Chain A
Amino acid sequence: MADTKTSEAAPKKGKWTRRAFIGAGVVAGGALVVGVAVRPGNPIDRLSPMLAKGKGEQLINAWVKIDADNIVTAIIPHVEMGQGIFTSLAQMLADELDADWSKVKILEAPADAKYVSHDIGREFLAPSLEVPAILEPTVGGTFLQLATAMNLQITGGSFSIRGTGQRAMRVAGAAAKEMLIAAAAEDWKVPAGELRAENSMIIHDKSSKSAPFADFAAAAAEQGLPNKPKLKSPKDYKLMGKTIARTDIPEKSNGAAIFGIDADLPGMKYAAVKAAPVVGATVESINADTAKTMPGVLQILNMGDFIAVVADGYWQAEQALGTIEAKYSKTEGDALDQDALFARYATMLDEAGDKDGDVETEEGDVGEAFASAATKVEAEYKVPFLAHATMEPMNCTAWVRDGKCDVWSGHQAPLMARKAAADTLGIDMDDVTYHNAYLGGGFGRRSETDVIIMATRIAKAAKYPVKMIWSREEDTMQDHYRPSATSRFQGGLDKDGKAVSWSNIHTHLFDPQEAPTVPYYNIANHKIRKIDVPTHLRFGPWRSVDHSQHGYFIESFVDEMAHAAGKDGYAFRRELLAGSARHLKVLDKAAEMAGWDKPLPEGHGRGIAFVPSFGTIVAEVAEVDMTGKKPKVKKIYVAADPGFAVNPDGFAAQMESSIAYGLTATLYGEISVKDGAVQQSNFHDYPILRINEMPEVEVEIINGDHKRLGGAGEPGLPPLAPAVTNAIFAATGNRVRELPLSKVNFA
């Protein structure tokens, strides 16, 4: 039952198409189930190793179910890691469905291809898949696109609302409503046009008749599927745009919420692990003479790349592990120290000179423009590796038996976790059941499958259920890190202090591709290049990914150019944004909130930074007190335009959260390498911002474009560091070109 419209232009790269396929079927209990699979126009996602093998049955990513008690269940194809997505996505679906919010339940979609595909998905996918002639014009590109849709099971990239919410949850809700109305129209023998839905009821105003959705659920499932369900316009929103209490907060306030680490199975044992300190090294030998004799110890395993102790209790396992002496193989990574790494970056940047490296964007002639510029500005910035440090240490529980495997964890990509377990065991995905729980922080760390693989390997060796928990030390030392990076800039100003050239070369580029670019700034000549400097440390997406460093680099350099031009940072950015009303509005709002021109006490400074990322435009102003020994960040003003904030309080919470996360990195965040190994281990040497250091935060939301929504989880982070360092410059004249601030002596 696919959309048969054929005239749609080929999707532009980087844009999502708006069409969707819709499927429906009746499941046990006569509930109406509507599934929607959106079709992305740009089927590129480097995150998923499953892409190439994409199976159609995994296309389904969103569901709505209505049961006999008139409970609407929104089945959410994303994971809850603190971003409030269960509530926000359900809000979107329930609004389009005109469901009674008090009767909406939320269920996380299972990472179960069989359930998704064979029971329901095939009902609407199979006809298309079996008739390629019809499929071709409707699905276009088919398998790659289906596989991409499967990728939507990844929660990350601040994607859920703007992608799944817009293209799937709303469409699913609207489609279900149309089907319910069609079924009621048949039953009541009235035109569908005379019916409406409200509070989970179908209403016929003319006859004052009304009945609950549930009465028509079974019949609705028999209805033809609407090709293009009509979505509401903002004036008709009842739930979207409203602050609605998050459904997961009560159980997170009484200890009832179950996280991955809380998995409990009969006969379950506990594993403590220690990996070779240098990534890539092997555990050549272990001496477990003491560990063998310690209470509770069941097994001691040299897994080749890590050591595991399995015991009756986790503490016993950890105690025994601590007594094991190990010899590790030598690797090339052993030679690496942090200073040498930065030196390597510098050498390679030097070698790239003015011409080499991969060009990311180029416009005009930066060489000429810079050479003839009245004022030349140059600067180099550095940032260190960063660990994610989720509060819930990495963990995974696995049970391998009879050729099958069950895995419990909290993961940002449940299907990838399931596939990783299957691959680890060399069994079919159908023989792996993956059970997801709440994530005690994700921030990108829980999109990696290393813990899934490790736990599965241990459980296979043990043959009984094992819960593997990483110590905080392992969590810190064996992360997949935000890379350390160096970035160099050359900027040219004309005699009026107008920016005429922007040249940048930096190390690494992971994601998003546009992170180093500044298309919103009006600078005639610009050229941005990167060089790759591989290290043995593993890269991992870290909240806001490459924007986390480039926000700091770019907005620091803009501030330096402003200073060189003799202009105020805010005024200078206004010039750069001239012609882009939506961007300017955000910048102006932040300045207005902060009272930009109002004097501050002696020794205090104000800094501004502006970074659009993940579809959301954010400007932040920081107020910093530099009168003490250390910078004290007093207040952050945030103006943000996410297009439309579905749950404004939830959006504000994500801004507050990004500020705390970003401020930790700005003040303290540093993972350093010595002899190839990470030096930090716990919160004493990898400190996290504490409540006494948390600034006040004021957030204002601008709903600038209800048709194109932006993300919430990440965009608040990139402007934070430069807002703070620009404020420090304003207060002290001290330009911070390397993070974290704990390395800088302000005395």
Chain B
Amino acid sequence: MITLNVNGQAKEVDVDPATPILWVVRENLKMTGTKFGCGVALCGACTVHLDGKPVRSCSTPVFEADGKAITTIEGLAEEDGTFSKVQQAWVDQQVAQCGYCQSGQIMSATALLKNNPNPSDEQIDAAMAGNICRCGTYVRIRKAIKTAAGTSSETQEA
């Protein structure tokens, strides 16, 4: 048994410690917001946070999460479902198309803004270059990150 801290809750799972976090979250914990895209950390669809830092969960064994806090896309909104600033910006800018990569995009953007509340265009591109979007929502991702960075409380309205 491995005890994990996922979105602030303790979870016990019976898995091989080498299992990537992605599959533990999706299959054992039944939280499917985190997506499988490439399996080798090339696309970013599986991005989660470990102690607030973005990691590619498809290539990070679950033992790496020992003693750390895992945050997934399901853990960003408030308990009543109110979207985080970044999530709300994603809705405001109508970012998602097929939506498959967007959990990873939002996790990367959230981590970026936490470290750098006012990123430049180049910093946005650099921080988000690990996340592929096949629908090409990049123009809107840039806008949404700026929306989230530039506004505060008023974007919290659902």
Are A and B a genuine interacting pair, yes or no? yes
A254 touches B33 (CB 8 A): yes
Of the candidate stretches A78-86, A342-350, A365-373, A671-679, the one touching chain B is A78-86
A653 touches B94 (CB 8 A): yes
B37 touches A261 (CB 8 A): no
How far is the CB of B149 from the nearest CB of chain A, in Å? 16
Cβ-based interface call for B140 (8 A): yes
* Residues in chain B near residue A659, CB distance under 8 A: 136
Query: Which residues of chain B (13-71) have a CB below 8 Å from chain A?
Result: 15-16, 19-20, 23, 27-28, 30-40, 42-43, 45
A656 touches B39 (CB 8 A): no
A691 touches B72 (CB 8 A): no
Contact with A along B86-115 (1 / 0, CB 8 A): 010011001111111111001000000000
B137 touches A392 (CB 8 A): no
Instruction: Given A255-B34, A439-B98, A653-B94, check contact A472 B132 (CB 8 Å).
Output: no
* Residues in chain B near residue A245, CB distance under 8 A: 91, 94
Cβ-based interface call for A461 (8 A): no
Instruction: Given A262-B32, A691-B125, A692-B129, check contact A683 B98 (CB 8 Å).
Output: no
Cβ-based interface call for A684 (8 A): yes
* Residues in chain B near residue A250, CB distance under 8 A: 83, 91
A314 touches B135 (CB 8 A): no
Residue on A nearest B20 in the bound complex, by CB: A315
CA distance A658 to B136 in the complex (A): 8
Residue on A nearest B74 in the bound complex, by CB: A255
How far is the CB of B82 from the nearest CB of chain A, in Å? 10
CA distance A255 to B28 in the complex (A): 16
Instruction: Given A245-B91, A682-B40, check contact A660 B136 (CB 8 Å).
Output: yes
CA distance A249 to B144 in the complex (A): 13
Task: Please report the number of residue pairs spanning A and B whose Cβ atoms sit closer than 8 angstroms.
Answer: 185
Contact with B along A69-91 (1 / 0, CB 8 A): 00000000000011110000000
Query: Which residues of chain B (120-140) have a CB below 8 Å from chain A?
Result: 124-126, 128-140
CA distance A658 to B36 in the complex (A): 23
B136 touches A689 (CB 8 A): yes
* Residues in chain B near residue A443, CB distance under 8 A: 134
A393 touches B36 (CB 8 A): yes
Interface of B is mostly: loop
Query: Which residues of chain A (679-694) have a CB below 8 Å from chain B?
Result: 682-684, 688-692, 694
A82 touches B38 (CB 8 A): no
Q: Which one of B42, B99, B137 lies within 8 Å of A438 (CB-CB)?
A: B99
* Residues in chain B near residue A684, CB distance under 8 A: 40, 42
How far is the CB of B79 from the nearest CB of chain A, in Å? 13
* Residues in chain B near residue A81, CB distance under 8 A: 98
Could you say which interface size class chain B belongs to? 35 or more
* Residues in chain A near residue B36, CB distance under 8 A: 261, 314, 393, 469
* Residues in chain A near residue B72, CB distance under 8 A: 255
Q: Which one of A84, A653, A661, A682 lies within 8 Å of B42 (CB-CB)?
A: A682
Interface centre among B33, B74, B95, by most A CB within 10 Å?
B33
B30 touches A389 (CB 8 A): no
Cβ-based interface call for B73 (8 A): yes
Residue on A nearest B15 in the bound complex, by CB: A313
B98 touches A82 (CB 8 A): yes
Q: Which one of A254, A262, A661 lies within 8 Å of B76 (CB-CB)?
A: A254
Q: Which one of B45, B83, B91, B129 lies within 8 Å of A690 (CB-CB)?
A: B129
B135 touches A393 (CB 8 A): no
B83 touches A254 (CB 8 A): yes
* Residues in chain A near residue B77, CB distance under 8 A: 254
Instruction: Given A245-B94, A314-B27, A441-B135, check contact A391 B142 (CB 8 Å).
Output: no
* Residues in chain B near residue A688, CB distance under 8 A: 43, 132, 134
B42 touches A249 (CB 8 A): no
Cβ-based interface call for B4 (8 A): no
CA distance A469 to B38 in the complex (A): 12
* Residues in chain A near residue B97, CB distance under 8 A: 82-84, 653, 657
Instruction: Given A255-B31, A313-B19, check contact A391 B138 (CB 8 Å).
Output: no
Cβ-based interface call for B141 (8 A): yes
CA distance A206 to B133 in the complex (A): 55
CA distance A30 to B79 in the complex (A): 37
Interface centre among A245, A253, A255, A471, by most B CB within 10 Å?
A253
B87 touches A82 (CB 8 A): no
A391 touches B45 (CB 8 A): yes
Instruction: Given A295-B16, A315-B19, check contact A657 B37 (CB 8 Å).
Output: no
Instruction: Given A82-B97, A682-B42, A691-B125, check contact A441 B37 (CB 8 Å).
Output: no
Cβ-based interface call for A222 (8 A): no
CA distance A141 to B24 in the complex (A): 55
* Residues in chain B near residue A650, CB distance under 8 A: 94
A253 touches B35 (CB 8 A): no
Cβ-based interface call for A21 (8 A): no
B134 touches A661 (CB 8 A): yes
A246 touches B33 (CB 8 A): no
Contact with B along A593-632 (1 / 0, CB 8 A): 0000000000000000000000000000000000000000
Instruction: Given A82-B135, A691-B128, check contact A440 B39 (CB 8 Å).
Output: no
How far is the CB of B92 from the nearest CB of chain A, in Å? 9
Cβ-based interface call for A270 (8 A): yes
How far is the CB of B57 from the nearest CB of chain A, in Å? 11
CA distance A326 to B11 in the complex (A): 39
* Residues in chain B near residue A657, CB distance under 8 A: 97, 135-137
* Residues in chain A near residue B94, CB distance under 8 A: 245-246, 249, 649-650, 653
Q: Which one of B23, B38, B135, B136 lies within 8 Å of A683 (CB-CB)?
A: B38
A690 touches B132 (CB 8 A): yes
B90 touches A391 (CB 8 A): no
CA distance A270 to B22 in the complex (A): 14
* Residues in chain A near residue B131, CB distance under 8 A: 690-691
How far is the CB of A86 from the nearest CB of chain B, in Å? 12
CA distance A48 to B139 in the complex (A): 36
Residue on A nearest B126 in the bound complex, by CB: A692
CA distance A469 to B101 in the complex (A): 17
CA distance A718 to B98 in the complex (A): 21
A440 touches B99 (CB 8 A): yes
CA distance A391 to B131 in the complex (A): 11
* Residues in chain B near residue A649, CB distance under 8 A: 94
Q: Which one of B27, B91, B125, B133 lies within 8 Å of A249 (CB-CB)?
A: B91
* Residues in chain A near residue B31, CB distance under 8 A: 255
How far is the CB of A397 from the nearest CB of chain B, in Å? 12
* Residues in chain B near residue A390, CB distance under 8 A: 98, 100, 134
CA distance A261 to B35 in the complex (A): 9
A660 touches B138 (CB 8 A): yes
Interface centre among B39, B73, B83, by most A CB within 10 Å?
B39
CA distance A649 to B92 in the complex (A): 12
A313 touches B27 (CB 8 A): yes
How far is the CB of A317 from the nearest CB of chain B, in Å? 10
CA distance A83 to B97 in the complex (A): 6
Show 8 residue pairs from A and B whose CB-CB distance is below 8 angstroms, ordered by the A residue. Answer: A81-B98, A250-B91, A253-B83, A391-B134, A440-B99, A472-B39, A691-B138, A692-B126
**Which residues does A use to contact B, with CB under 8 Å?**
81-84, 245-246, 248-259, 261-262, 264, 270, 295, 313-316, 318, 389-393, 438-443, 469, 471-472, 649-650, 653, 656-661, 663, 682-684, 688-692, 694, 696-697
Known: A392-B37, A442-B98, A683-B38. 4 other contacts (CB 8 A): A82-B99, A253-B96, A656-B136, A656-B137
Report the 4 A-B pairs with minimum CB-CB distance, sorted nearest first.
Answer: A255-B33, A660-B136, A252-B99, A440-B100
